[in-house]
Structure 1
Amino acid sequence: MLTARQKVPALLTLCLTLLVPTSARAAADAPAERQLQRRPVVLVHGYNADPGVWGALRADLRAAGYADSELFSWGYDTHRSVNEELSGRLAAYVEEVRRQTGADRVDVVAHSFGSLVSRWYVKFGGGAATVDHWVSLAGPNHGTSTAWACALWDQACRDMTPNSYVQKNLAAGDETPGTVKYATFWSDCDEVINPDGSVPLTGAANTGVGCLKHNDLLGDATTTSGVRAFLAS
């Protein structure tokens, strides 16, 4: 039997023994919890559109475990200049997302014209340090001849025409700079992007989705599944 003087050290030893495994478990679990945290996703819509176009992809990402607080749909005036105005506004939006979420990097998914805005941000606006995955759905990444139809009065259309100032600068040097992971999804029946081969980029994971119309890539289950898998890579 322990004396009163012996009981105190014994109790202290027992407490320390019980605490050590708990602390060790907490330290071991912390990295796992951090690994489970996803990067916030910034969705950038295309020309003459709005954030409402992302309903299908947002639903798919939520079904995969994303919370609404991790999904951000940026809205903007699609008739403005890619390089002089819109890429800077996107940069400010990404910074606000990072501030809200505490994330060091975000993933960007863009449709159509939004691909040019977000590419300019990544290549020239500091986005190479803040974007982890970048996805282009049906983006006019090397220009589209259909943009000539509105180029006379619309700056965004001029930016989308082949060999425009924006196109030449985005194509110069490395099309997929930095450590960002790039992916494109394109259709061989796209009535807006002409030629269809405008979408793929050197250095990106380029995926043909078959015969889909331009806006159908936004709701196609196979395409959204591919986007989700790429973001998880």
Structure 2
Amino acid sequence: MKLPRSPRPVRSAWRRTLRAATVTAALLAATVTPLGAAHASTAPDRGWNDWSCRPSAAHPRPVVLVHGTFGNSVDNWLVLAPYLVKRGYCVFSLDYGQLPGVPLFNGLGPIAKSAEQLDAFVDKVRGTTGTAKVDLVGHSQGGMMPRYYLKFLGGAAEVNSLVGLAPDNHGTTLNGLTKLLPYFPGAGDLLTLATPGLADQVAGSDFITRLNAGGDTVPGVHYTVIATKYDEVVTPYRSQFLDGPDVRNVLLQDLCPVDLSEHVTIGTVDLVAYHEVANALDPAHATPTDCFN
């Protein structure tokens, strides 16, 4: 007996879901360079960290990319940096939070000191490009650490917007941070060393308490947080969101329900998240974000 076909709206919905799932799978496969395997020369070859770049009228502020824990100025941005360069931005990335004798794996030093490194790097970018302000885009710790610079180091006068991809704005557990280790072969040995950058990120730490005392934001800066409900590192994922008068909190699955990105992939390969980053950097020309951006 021939079974009745599904109604056309159901079939169409399934087709859309399958297409979206295919897109998500492609995003997850996009990282062809293993984390930790790239080297510094990759960045200029891909068009970012070009110190001769001058911002255009369309994109008048340079973008500074701030990597996450165990990351570095190249590995974290092999997809996003070229994505923004292609759209006409001057893009720069830095290394911060280095431990003596530990190559490649950064973001492990005291976060207050890392914020000082960011401050110095932003000053260099502003001076070289002749701009008064920059926009910051950070992943994980890189989306949270800049808030210290904004709040305590005068960064509010130098930054137009901060976009955080899965930032641990209110801390996480050490167990959550150790879930990053499989993505960075050899990084597990670092847990036997002094890693203040990890301790600072634990929920309830002195650093997190001071960072959030008196409010999450500072006047004059536009904040965007992009989170995924599948985040296994910063949990609960809603702890990433900020409260304040100029904050936009975005859940990735509200834009694309079948996006399966978790903590690492939202910052390293997810084009849906990146489209929302582009919207945050240029809200006057924002376009709707869905599974096919």
Q: Please state which band the TM-score falls in when normalised by the shorter chain.
A: 0.7 to 0.9
Find the partner of 1:128 among 141, 156, 167. 156
In the other structure, the counterpart of 1:106 is 134
In the other structure, the counterpart of 2:265 is 216
| Residue correspondence of structure 1 range 134-149 to structure 2 within 5 A | 134-145=162-173, 146=175
Tell me, yes or no, if the aligned pair for 2:139 and 2:164 is still in contact at 8 Å.
yes
Secondary structure, counterpart of 1:202 in structure 2: coil
In the other structure, the counterpart of 1:79 is 108
Amino acid of the residue matched to residue 193 of structure 1?
A: V
Cα distance per residue 1:117-160 (max 9 Å; x no partner): 21100111110000001011111111111357559942011111
Amino acid of the residue matched to residue 215 of structure 1?
A: V
Amino acid of the residue matched to residue 114 of structure 1?
A: G
Distance 1:154 1:49 in 2: 14
C-alpha deviation, 1:165, in angstroms: 1.2
Q: Identity across aligned pairs (percent)?
A: 34
C-alpha deviation, 1:36, in angstroms: 2.7
Amino acid of the residue matched to residue 161 of structure 1?
A: V
Amino acid of the residue matched to residue 201 of structure 1?
A: L
Tell me, yes or no, if the aligned pair for 1:79 and 1:154 is still in contact at 8 Å.
yes
Distance 1:151 1:96 in 2: 34
Tell me, yes or no, if the aligned pair for 1:152 and 1:158 is still in contact at 8 Å.
no
In the other structure, the counterpart of 2:208 is 167
Distance 2:243 2:120 in 1: 28
Tell me, yes or no, if the aligned pair for 2:234 and 2:263 is still in contact at 8 Å.
yes
Distance 1:147 1:167 in 2: 15
Distance 2:199 2:138 in 1: 19
Distance 2:110 2:56 in 1: 38
Distance 1:185 1:107 in 2: 16
Tell me, yes or no, if the aligned pair for 1:189 and 1:212 is still in contact at 8 Å.
yes
Residues 101 and 190 of structure 1: CA distance in aligned 2, closer, same or farther (over 3 Å)? same
Distance 1:189 1:148 in 2: 15
| Residue correspondence of structure 1 range 21-40 to structure 2 within 5 A | 35-40=57-62
Normalising to structure 1: TM-score of the pair?
0.79
The structure where helix makes up a greater share of residues is: 1
Distance 2:79 2:56 in 1: 28
Cα distance per residue 1:91-131 (max 9 Å; x no partner): 01100000000000000001111123211001111100000
Residues 34 and 190 of structure 1: CA distance in aligned 2, closer, same or farther (over 3 Å)? closer
| Residue correspondence of structure 1 range 188-203 to structure 2 within 5 A | 188-203=229-244
| Residue correspondence of structure 1 range 30-109 to structure 2 within 5 A | 35-52=57-74, 53-66=76-89, 70-76=90-96, 77=98, 78-83=107-112, 85-109=113-137
Answer yes or no: is 1:180 the counterpart of 2:203. no
Distance 1:74 1:61 in 2: 16
Distance 1:194 1:37 in 2: 34
Q: RMSD over aligned Cα, in angstroms? A: 1.9
Q: Can you give the 5+ residue segments of structure 2 that lack an aligned partner in the other structure?
A: 1-54, 99-106, 179-190, 254-259, 284-293
Amino acid of the residue matched to residue 119 of structure 2?
A: A
Normalising to structure 2: TM-score of the pair?
0.64
